[in-house]
Amino acid sequence: MTRQYIPFPRSEGLSSRQAHADLPEGTFERELGKEGFFGPATHMHHRHPPTGWTSWEGPLRPRAFDLAKINAEHASPWDAAEILFNAHVRLRLWRAPARMDHLARNGDGDELLFIHQGAGDIFCDYGRLSFRAGDYVVLPRSTMWRMECSAPVVALLIEATGSTFQLPDRGMVGKHAVFDPAVLETPRLDEAFRAQADESEWAVRIKRRNAISTVTYPFNPLDAVGWHGDLSPVRLNVEDIRPLMSHRYHLPPSAHTTFVANRFVICTFCPRPFETDPGALKVPFFHNNDDYDEVLFYHAGDFFSRDNIHAGMMTLHPCGFTHGPHPKALGNAFTPKKPATDEYAVMLDTRDALEIGAAASAVEWGDYAQSWRVKPA
């Protein structure tokens, strides 16, 4: 059935003509939107900050986890600490060994590795692919692979359960905006790959329906001598992303979408100039986003909209309540203290509610919901 929302842009009382700009003096804007910033929306104007609560009871609350405190190394990605999950996505944090002694294969969906720290090589069906901090590596479903690290690796593993990672529709800005697909790197069947194809016994640990099966070969099955086609792992570094910008309007997170999959999207926040129009908001606007759970992993830099957040932390804002910048950032909503942002962060937006894994619960910042409270002068 074709969707037909009730279309009627209206205004009532004191309001601005343009969302996120020229707010009536002394007001705070809140966006109520559908479809993750793509659907109909209304912008409320309030006399008080919509996050000005004094207490919070019940399970629907903003959460924060210090993943930097998860120190255990796991020999296999399938043993990595589970952080968040639902029927369509699983997110793990993996401290990888210096060298995997087996091959991994995900039969449940495509795997996206985000390299938070470290460097090395991935050997897979298609060849060798080097990686470094800030890389996304997309491994198509059922790709056999293993990792050798030249520096200690910490990675997010994001599984598109039952689906495929794709590029978003760039619309009127064209397919070369944000990043040109030409910057995507693919594995090479080079000398290093050929050298690792030995005749030793190798095990392949295959994950299917979140259970592990092991298949053993009397040789290394990564022994391809050639391939052709349009399915392959790809690598993208955050430094190759050129974010969309508007000097007069604060763009929503959807403008920074990097990958899409079934019922969730991955966005990347990169350094960019602040908006220069005096009336335009310079910080994320208060919003409900009632169709999605929002997850942010803080990779590097100065996270201007959050207090007491450092690299390696993750926040979860479930759909159903208003969220936005912390009070200190709100004070710079129209007059930022520097000309540009200085942060890299990965955002996961899911259509379905996320469950919290035991590893995340063990490193939770329990008072995060209270961090929006304004301290008495």
CB 308 within 8 A of CB 66: no
Residue 87 and residue 229 in one domain: yes
Q: CATH number of the domain that 222 lies in?
A: 2.60.120.10
How many CB atoms are located within 10 Å of the residue 157 CB? 22
pLDDT value at position 126?
Answer: 98
- Whether 215 has a pLDDT exceeding 70, the answer reads yes
- Whether 376 has a pLDDT exceeding 70, the answer reads no
Residue 86 and residue 194 in one domain: yes
- Whether 377 has a pLDDT exceeding 50, the answer reads no
Q: How high is the mean pLDDT of the chain?
A: 93
Last residue in a domain, options 238, 271, 298: 238
Last residue in a domain, options 170, 203, 238: 238
Residue 150 and residue 193 in one domain: yes
Per-residue burial over 217-252, b = 16 or more CB atoms within 10 Å of its CB, e = otherwise: eeebebeeeeeeeeebbbbbbbebbebeeeeebbeb
Lowest-confidence range among 56-65, 181-190, 298-307, 357-366? Answer: 298-307
Domain assignment of residue 20, yes or no: no
Domain assignment of residue 22, yes or no: no
Predicted TM-score of the model (pTM):
0.94
pLDDT in tens, 72-122: 999 999 999 999 999 999 999 999 999 999 999 999 999 999 999 999 999
- Host domain of residue 266: 28-64+244-372
Residue 342 and residue 271 in one domain: yes
Residue 276 and residue 325 in one domain: yes
Distance of CA 168 to the CA centre of its chain: 14
Residue 81 and residue 186 in one domain: yes
CA pair distance 342, 203, nearest whole angstrom: 43
Phi-psi region of 170 (alpha: psi -120 to 50; beta: other; left: phi over 0): alpha
Helices (H), the chain: 191-196, 327-330, 358-361
pLDDT value at position 73?
Answer: 97
Residue 327 and residue 186 in one domain: no
Domain assignment of residue 13, yes or no: no
How many CB atoms are located within 10 Å of the residue 150 CB? 13
DSSP state of 95: E
- Whether 154 has a pLDDT exceeding 90, the answer reads yes
Residue 185 and residue 283 in one domain: no
Domain assignment of residue 15, yes or no: no
pLDDT in tens, 230-270: 999 999 999 999 999 999 999 988 899 999 999 999 999 99
Domains in the chain: how many in total? 2
